[in-house]
Amino acid sequence: MELEKFSYDNKIVRNFAYATMLWGLVGMLVGLWAALELAFPSFNLGISFTTFGRIRPLHTNAVIFAFVGNGIFMGVYYSLQRLCKARMFSDFLSSVHFWGWQLIIVSAALTLPLGFTTGKEYAELEWPIDIAIALIWVVFGINMFGTIIKRREKHIYVAIWFYIGTLVTVAVLHIVNSFELPVSFLKSYSLYAGVQDALVQWWYGHNAVAFFLTTPYLGLMYYFLPKAANRPVYSYRLSIVHFWALTFLYIWAGPHHLLYTALPDWAQSLGVAFSVMLIAPSWGGMVNGLLTLRGAWDKVREDIVLKFMVVAVTAYGMSTFEGPMLSLKNVNAIAHYTDWIVAHVHVGALGWNGFLTFGILYWLIPRMFRTQLYSQKMANWHFWVGTLGILFYAIPMYWAGFVQSLMWKEFTPEGLLKYQFLETVTRIRPMYVMRSLGGVFYLAGVIIMTYNLIATIRQGSLLENEEAEAAPLVKHAKQEKGEHWHRTLERRPVQFMVLSLVVILIGGVVELIPTFLIKSNVPTIASVKPYTPLELQGRDIYIREGCYTCHSQMIRPFRSETVRYGEYSKAGEFVYDHPFQWGSKRTGPDLHREGGKYPDSWHFNHMMDPTSMSPGSIMPTYTWLYDDVLDISSTPAKINAMRTLGVPYPAGYENIANTDLHKQAESITQNLAKEKIQIMSDKEIIALIAYLQRLGTDIKLSKVTTAGNK
């Protein structure tokens, strides 16, 4: 058969590689900054744009979607072309994909520090950016499927299944979680409220880990690890089982982020069961990766690429063992809200995603630039400094998590809580300092790598279009006699996509539908009323400042929590919360029953300078709230939007909402005046105080549901 001549597009791979390096540096630098803010609050700089609550979403979005995102595209664009023996479907679409994605990243880097956020973790970007992400994702999908369809190779290698699974699932997750009602150009409210919002968010949140940080990287592992080791994957059979088991199980696991919360019990148990099952395919994948090196372990000593990959696969194994353990209710009771979770995710992020990306970069750049790596020695330095960085990061965080959790739960013989919340924070501050040091090490490694790779690039020259030739694919319309059904499926990418879509939808539907359709799943509490206009505005300030990054609003039904914070949280209390603000980490105390705990003046002084009320506090100052005037022009639009979402504001209330707002603001100002605090009633701090004083008070007033529970 005549061979067809064509060329692989290396330029687009190079572009994504550059973006991976650039955004990696930025994202990790911001991460280090955030870590320093926790250790030394003065790093918050006292200005709104750089406080932890705004920097932390910037860090998570940058490393997940910018660093890992570009890393995925780099690896996919390289391996897909070669596995399909075809150039990318369209150079134009490749280019649109690349520049579109970078534009999304830049707009995220601008909007997040400015305080434009949906307040949902890892999905903070506001609605116009959400739409852009969906569009660019579709471009990526068309380009990928176009390439698969015009391929010259009969079969579709397992790595590509992982890419297809990723493409489909991320699209579904992103779209379902991003249903939001725009209020203005950069402000929207989640379509879901309270418990439903939490369930959707963590269905998304966990699967962002699963299908953005894991499955595409497993695809890369199945391509680049055999490449680097120059031997086929240990067991191709295992990789098939690995793929289907992961796709099937992962989608159910989300609710393990909501154990002991107001989420219905059955959904929690479902999440736990599937999370525990996940250990099997995850370890199957890890073993498959490591055993690929069977008989080649001597190479690991020499080859820098393999060194990075071995640590990456090992880190994958560790975090996927830890994950199911953390989803057990008794372990979760200790670990949740603490730095243990931070340690867990960073073993995954720094070890698995980071090191695999570095390994691929060290393999890819010299090949594409037709040269040798500039310095093996530097790469070795990077490896050891990076490994040390992971250890210095993870160990103090585990320690901090254990210590703080035990301190939270310790009672004196008299039956009182032994420690104030603040004591548990000051105790672990040295660990925060150590963690920052780990970050410095890790970042130093990445800087060394960047220098090394730039030097490599300079001594070589890019092979923009790599010539190749292959025989065209003869169309097989029918299954060959005696052929395996899965191999038939492997030749049909579109059917393959549909099947994986069905697989993940079953999980999503069973998990989400019952809570959606059945109103009675969330018992309503008569005393729970919509927020007043001033409280609503205050709540939006709470969201804008990212308070949820450090404060939960979800008291679990444990004695240690009800004694410390008050009555545990009920599902019915959150029915007007668009979006929910349960949080996932308690760097500061839970705020669900904050209302009425302290006088207005306490909050006034505390937000101005937290250490004045709580000496040793690591909370940033929020001085701008005392200068900035609350924008009340948005009130009618916000009331209207909330009513559209089902919050029962009376008809026409939007026209008089600001009158009520002024009244409430005046009364808070007068309260403050009694304590000799002079402030104009139109400042943002007044709205925030109104919201904080409202938190959790609906149930306190009624007392009915609490009877018999205390």
Residue 498 found at the interface with another protein (CB under 8 A)? no
* Burial per residue of 260-285, b for 16 or more beta-carbon CB atoms within 10 angstroms, e otherwise: bbbbbeebbebbbebbbbbbbbbbbb
- Answer for which of 22, 142, 186, 241 binds another protein (CB under 8 A) is 241
Q: How far is the CB of 646 from another protein (least distance, A)?
A: 19
- Answer for which of 92, 185, 266, 384 binds another protein (CB under 8 A) is 266
Residue 85 found at the interface with another protein (CB under 8 A)? yes
Residue 487 found at the interface with another protein (CB under 8 A)? yes
- Angle in degrees, 0-180, between the axes of helices 69-84 and 158-177, rounded to the nearest 10: 140
Tokens read off for 240: 């098939």
Contact pattern from residue 326 through residue 365 relative to another protein, giving x for each residue in contact according to CB under 8 A and a dash for the rest: ----------------------------------------
Closest CB to another protein among 234 and 316? 234
Closest CB to another protein among 103 and 518? 518
Q: How far is the CB of 485 from another protein (least distance, A)?
A: 6
Contact pattern from residue 568 through residue 607 relative to another protein, giving x for each residue in contact according to CB under 8 A and a dash for the rest: ---x------------------------------------
Closest CB to another protein among 6 and 626? 6
Gyration radius (Cα) of the chain, Å: 26
Interaction residues for another protein, span 152-191 (CB under 8 A) = 153, 155, 157-159
Using the contact rule CB under 8 A, the part of the chain among 142-150, 203-211, 518-526, 647-655 near another protein is: 518-526
- Answer for which of 236, 297, 384, 411 binds another protein (CB under 8 A) is 236
CA–CA separation, 359 and 310 (whole Å) = 9
Residue 240 found at the interface with another protein (CB under 8 A)? yes
Between strands 465-470 and 187-190, the pairing is unpaired
Tell me if the bond preceding 579 is cis, omega within 30° of 0: yes
Q: Answer for the pair 190, 120: CB distance below 8 angstroms, yes or no.
A: yes
Q: Strand pairing partners for 5?
A: 469
Residue 710 found at the interface with another protein (CB under 8 A)? no
Q: How far is the CB of 564 from another protein (least distance, A)?
A: 23
Q: How far is the CB of 463 from another protein (least distance, A)?
A: 6
Residue with tokens 């669900």: 592
Closest CB to another protein among 53 and 285? 285
Residue 223 found at the interface with another protein (CB under 8 A)? yes
How many other C-beta atoms can be found within 10 angstroms of the C-beta atom of residue 572?
19
CA–CA separation, 115 and 586 (whole Å) = 21
**What is the dihedral sign for C-alpha 40, 43, 49, 54?**
negative
* The 3-state secondary structure of 155-201, one letter per residue: CCCHHHHHHHHHHHHHHHHHHHHCCEEEEECCEEEECCCHHHHHHHH
Q: Strand pairing partners for 629?
A: 683
Using the contact rule CB under 8 A, the part of the chain among 209-217, 306-314, 504-512, 539-547 near another protein is: 504-512
- Answer for which of 101, 204, 248, 374 binds another protein (CB under 8 A) is 248
* The 3-state secondary structure of 223-250, one letter per residue: HHHHHHHCCCCCCHHHHHHHHHHHHHHH
Closest CB to another protein among 69 and 264? 264
CA–CA separation, 75 and 72 (whole Å) = 5
Residue 466 found at the interface with another protein (CB under 8 A)? yes
Residue 468 found at the interface with another protein (CB under 8 A)? yes
CA–CA separation, 242 and 235 (whole Å) = 10
- Answer for which of 17, 64, 233, 253 binds another protein (CB under 8 A) is 233
Using the contact rule CB under 8 A, the part of the chain among 129-137, 329-337, 341-349, 510-518 near another protein is: 510-518
Angle at 572 between CA 687 and CA 658, to 5 degrees: 25
Q: How far is the CB of 703 from another protein (least distance, A)?
A: 16
- Answer for which of 476, 486, 559, 663 binds another protein (CB under 8 A) is 486
Tokens read off for 213: 């940080």
Closest CB to another protein among 151 and 564? 151
Closest CB to another protein among 520 and 633? 520
Q: Answer for the pair 664, 534: CB distance below 8 angstroms, yes or no.
A: yes
Closest CB to another protein among 377 and 487? 487
CA–CA separation, 433 and 428 (whole Å) = 9
Residue 300 found at the interface with another protein (CB under 8 A)? no
Number of residues that bind another protein (CB under 8 A): 51
* Local structure of 518: helix, strand or coil: coil
CA–CA separation, 583 and 338 (whole Å) = 12
Closest CB to another protein among 468 and 677? 468
Q: Answer for the pair 389, 439: CB distance below 8 angstroms, yes or no.
A: yes
Contact pattern from residue 4 through residue 43 relative to another protein, giving x for each residue in contact according to CB under 8 A and a dash for the rest: ----x-----------------------------------
Closest CB to another protein among 10 and 635? 10
Nearby residues of 674 by Cβ (< 8 Å), 6 or more positions away: none
Contact pattern from residue 365 through residue 404 relative to another protein, giving x for each residue in contact according to CB under 8 A and a dash for the rest: -----x----------------------------------
CA–CA separation, 574 and 451 (whole Å) = 50
Closest CB to another protein among 306 and 341? 306
What are the distances in angstroms from CA 504 to CA 207, 493, 501, 560? Answer: 11, 17, 5, 38
Where does this chain bind another protein (CB under 8 A)? 8, 79, 82-83, 85, 153, 155, 157-159, 222-223, 226-227, 230-233, 236-237, 240-241, 244-245, 248, 264-266, 270, 370, 463, 466-470, 484-487, 506-507, 510, 513-514, 517-518, 520-521, 523, 571
